[in-house]
Amino acid sequence: MTTRAEATRARLQSAALDLFEQRGYRAVTVEEIAAAAGVSHMTFFRHFPTKERVLLDDPFDPVIAAAVAAQPAGLPAIERVARGLLSLVPLLDQEPTASARRGIAIAAREPELQAGMAANTAATERAIVEAASLPGGEQGMRVAAAACLAAVTTVLFAWALEGTSRTIGALVAEAVTTVVPALADAPVPAFAGATP
């Protein structure tokens, strides 16, 4: 069931993506996005708290957190996070990635939006720590999550910007094994959790 609000939200997102690609993020005003979607600027801000959130909408947190939590608790934090991310690789390659790539490519070109992606990362980091950390081991898990997510973000930018034909999954795997080289040889079982 698609409610009216969901339809408006989708129109806003689509219009924003088009306009950003045509003229750049900075040059497009919220007014223009709203007008292109046939609504007022107030309606824009009821659906997205800031201009940048129309582009950086990341519903993946719970999946990632669950994948990390599913790894053996006895491992060092960094390896646990790395293996959790690796287990998501097959799932990543199934997802529709065209619009995600458009959004990330725009973000990768604008420094202020890269800061916005960092906010996403911080949220994902919190989700991982809450889902997976052992009592007393929070700091280590937080550090490990931050490190791995930063690595993944880096390759996502490269993926969106360069004309790489490789899949997201392959690049994420490369990022993770850059951080934990030992995982390059040891295959990790795919994560069987629910899709978002």
Partner DNA sequence: GAACAGATGTTAGTGACTAACACTTGAGTC
Partner DNA sequence: GACTCAAGTGTTAGTCACTAACATCTGTTC
75 touches DNA (CB under 7 A): no
Q: 28-67 mask for DNA (x: CB under 7 A)?
A: xxxx--x---xxxxxx-xxx-xxxx---------------
Partner whose binding site includes residue 73, from DNA, a second copy, none (CB under 5 to 8 Å by kind) = none
Q: Quick one: tokens of 50? A: 């800031």
Indicate the DSSP class of residue 196: -
Choice between 37 and 160, CB closer to a second copy: 160
Cβ atoms of 88 and 172 within 8 Å: the answer is: yes
Angle at which helices 77-86 and 61-69 cross, to 10° = 120
22 touches DNA (CB under 7 A): no
Partner whose binding site includes residue 140, from a second copy, DNA, none (CB under 5 to 8 Å by kind) = a second copy
Choice between 167 and 178, CB closer to a second copy: 178
Q: Which of 8, 120, 133, 153 binds DNA (CB under 7 A)?
A: 8
Choice between 39 and 147, CB closer to DNA: 39
Q: d(Cα 161, Cα 163) in Å, to the nearest integer? A: 7
Question: In whole angstroms, how close is the CB of 47 to DNA at the nearest point?
Answer: 6
Q: d(Cα 107, Cα 120) in Å, to the nearest integer? A: 12
Nearest alpha-carbon partner for 87 in 2, 187, 195: 187
Q: d(Cα 138, Cα 142) in Å, to the nearest integer? A: 6
Residues that bind DNA (CB under 7 A): 3-5, 8, 28-31, 34, 38-43, 45-47, 49-52
